[in-house]
Copies of this chain bind each other. A is one copy, B any other.
Amino acid sequence: MELNKPPVNSLNYELLEAMHRTLVKLENEKCPGMILTSSSRSTFSAGLDLLEMYKPTVDKARRFWSMLQNTWIKLYSTPYPTVAAINGHSPAGGCLLAMSCEHRIMVPDKMIGLNETQLGIVAPQWFQDCMRNIIGERQAEKALIAGRMFTSEEALKIGLVDELATDKEDLMQKAHDFLDEQMGLPPLARSVVKVGFRKDTLSKLINGREADIKMFLDNVFQPKVQESLENYIQMLKKK
């Protein structure tokens, strides 16, 4: 699955909905394995599209967040193996997508992390849980309190990514190698173990979807958050 929404694969409703549709299709077609990557040269995904959060109607905001939940639940619980071929920057929601795969391979000299704190917002609990499951309690605490972005090399060192690739070709080769290895395993036992490891994190969101939406709505409609978003969007436009 190659994300292709120029320039930086911002996750708006349409992109999330297309991802969700693809994930349902892959599962129905007994997909043997999936590589998640991006068509952009600079960016894996820039995360949630700020325009979805800037002065939305309640209905639009609710519909957006609900689709984000849908897409993540599908991606995090696929029975088939998944690998993120991270060929560019991967902040916030982009990092979530990468963390939701089973394995992460990254090109050098890019940045990845949950940087929400730096924007004055709080990463949702399930974003935080995904990070904690991968890099452990203490590293996640430090990273999330500071909203820290890691270089590819730092991310490898703390285990946020599993491998570095030298270039895009090497990246795709390593992603295929991972899938080949996983696809050689008995698929049912493999998927039962995988989903077993992820079930607590999944259940927390699935049983708390409405509360999670409410938390997003409460946050997004705060004047301070709208102000931050406005400033940030202005800054991006100037770039």
Contact = CB atoms under 8 A, between A and B. Distances in A.
A137 B136 contact: yes
Contact of A197 (B118, B119, B141, B147): B141
A138 B138 contact: no
B186 A117 contact: yes
A116 B181 contact: no
Contacts of A188: 120
A51 B190 CA distance: 24
A121 interface: yes
Interface in A130-187: 132-138, 140-141, 144-147, 159, 181-182, 185-186
B189 A146 contact: no
A15 B197 CA distance: 31
A144 B185 contact: no
Given A144-B197, A145-B197, A122 B192 contact: yes
A55 interface: no
Contact of A118 (B118, B146, B185, B192): B185
Contact of A128 (B122, B125, B181, B196): B196
Interface in A79-132: 102, 116-123, 125, 128, 132
A186 B120 contact: yes
Given A121-B189, A122-B192, A146 B182 contact: yes
A62 interface: no
Interface in A182-218: 182, 185-186, 188-190, 192-194, 196-197
B186 A145 contact: no
Nearest to A188: B120
Contact of A122 (B118, B123, B132, B189): B189
Contact of A193 (B119, B122, B190, B193): B122
B145 A102 contact: yes
